[in-house]
Amino acid sequence: MAGASPGEASGNAVSSEVLLAGLREVGAVTRLSHRMTVAPRIRVAADDAIELGTQPFVVHGEAMVTGFLERRRLRTWSCGWAVNSRYAGSLMTSGVPYAIWEATLYRDELRTTSIMESRKSGRGSGLGIALHSALLPIGTTLEALLYRRARVLCAMSDHTRRRMIEQYDLSADRVVLLAHPPAPSFLTALDHASSRIEAKRPTRKAALCLLCVARVDDPRKGVGELLHAVARARAADMPVELTVAGPYTERWRDAFSEAIRASEVRLLGKVDVGQLVEQYLSHDALVVPSRQEGFGIVVSEAFHAGLPVIATRCGGPEATILHSEGGLLVDRDVNAMVSTFHTLLESADLLPTMAANARRYASSELSISTFVQRVRTLTQHLVESRAPLPV
C-alpha cells in the first residue's frame, strides 16, 4: 500500500490507516511512503515499511524514477493500492498492477488557495504553490496517465468520481465509489468514550454549540470565514458557541486575531484521538466551512458520533449529507451561515432528527465492515483480472 505514513497530520495519513486496516483483512501488506532526498533511492524503515526517496517538483511524478530503478524489488508484490494518485507513480513504473483510491483531483486542490494566503497563514513562503501551479500541465498529464493505467479506480466521494470522469473523459464504468469510514483508532476511542459520555450527553443548552475540526491554518478549510460568521451571529445576540480543533500557526492566529476575539472561539489546537472523540460527543453539530473537499473525513467521524453536519457546498460532503439527511448544506457565505445558525436555534426537533439519520447512515454506508468487504472484492479483481473493473 502506497500512501502517507499513518499518524502524520494529514487527511492522506488517515486514509492510509483506513486502507491499511482493510487490506490486512485480505492478506499480507507492505507499506510504501515517500520522503524527500537528493537522489532517487529506496530505504527499508524500522517497521519494515519501504521509503522511496523522491523530489517534490511534479506532484504526480514524485516517485516514478525511483519506482523504475527499483522495479525488481517492487515487482515481488502481487498488486498495489495507492491512497491518492500522487502515490501511484512508483507502482506504475515498476509494473505492479495497481488501484488508486482518490480523494481529490490535483487541479481542484491547487485552485482553492493562493501564494498570499499561504504566506498569511504561516504555511510557508508560497514557493511550493507557485512551482506546482507552473507545472500543473505536466501534473495533470501524469495524473491522466496514472488513471488510464490503473487496473482499479476508486473515488472517495460521488463528487470526486464525477470530477475524474469529466476531467479526463473516463468511461463511467472505470470509476467506482469507495466511501471513507473513520480510522480504526477513532472508532476504538469512540467505543471507549461512548459508555462514559454518550449515555450522559449534556442536556441541550440554550446556546448552539458548534464544532469545527480541521487543519485550521489551511486556507482551503475556510475557518476564517466561519469565525466571521460566528462573530456576526453573536453580534446579533444569537447564542452560538464555537470550538475549533486542529493545528494552526501563530502567524494564522495573529492574522485572524480580531475575528478570534469577536467570535469568542475556543481554539484547542492539535488534539489526540481521545480528546477529539470527546469534542464530537459534547457538541450539537459539526461545521465544515471548506472551499473544497474531496470527501471530508470529519463528516464520517461526526456521523459515527451521532453529530449532524453543517457543510458548505464544497464538493465531497454534499452527496453524503443529501443521501443521509444527516445535516444541512449551506452556501459558502457568511450571511448564509448565520441564517443556518438561526434555523438550528429556532427548530428544536431538527438537530435530534438529523443526528438519528447520521447514525443510521454511518452504520450502513460508512462502516469498517462494509469498507473491508468492498476492498476484498476490488483486490481480488485487481490480482486476477487485466480488464477494467465493471460496475
Per-residue model confidence as pLDDT tens digits over 21-35 = 999 999 999 999 988
DSSP string, 173-198: GGEEE---PPPHHHHHHHHHHHHHHG
Confidence of residue 391 (pLDDT cuts 50, 70, 90): very low
Q: Retrieve residue 353's grid coordinates.
A: 432528527
Q: Has residue 114 got a pLDDT over 80? A: no
CB count within 10 Å of CB 121 equals 24
The mean predicted confidence, pLDDT, of the chain is 90
Q: What number does CATH give the domain 184-365?
A: 3.40.50.2000
Q: Could you report the per-residue pLDDT of 179-226, keeping only the tens digit for each?
A: 999 999 999 999 988 776 554 455 556 799 999 999 999 999 999 999
Could you give the C-alpha distances from 345 to 59, 190, 225, in angstroms and in order?
45, 27, 20
Q: What share of the chain has pLDDT > 90, as a percent?
A: 71
* Contact present, 286 and 299 (Cβ < 8 Å): yes
pLDDT tens, 129-140?
A: 777 777 788 889
8 Å CB contact between 305 and 218: no
Q: Lowest-pLDDT range, 10-14, 218-222, 307-311? A: 10-14
Does the pLDDT value for residue 160 go beyond 80?
yes
- In sequence order, the 6+-apart residues with CB closer than 8 A to the CB of 33 are 2, 3, 4, 5, 49, 50, 51, 52
Query: What are the residue boundaries of the structural domains of the chain, listed by start?
Result: 11-181+368-384, 184-365
Q: Just give the CATH number of 11-181+368-384.
A: 3.40.50.2000
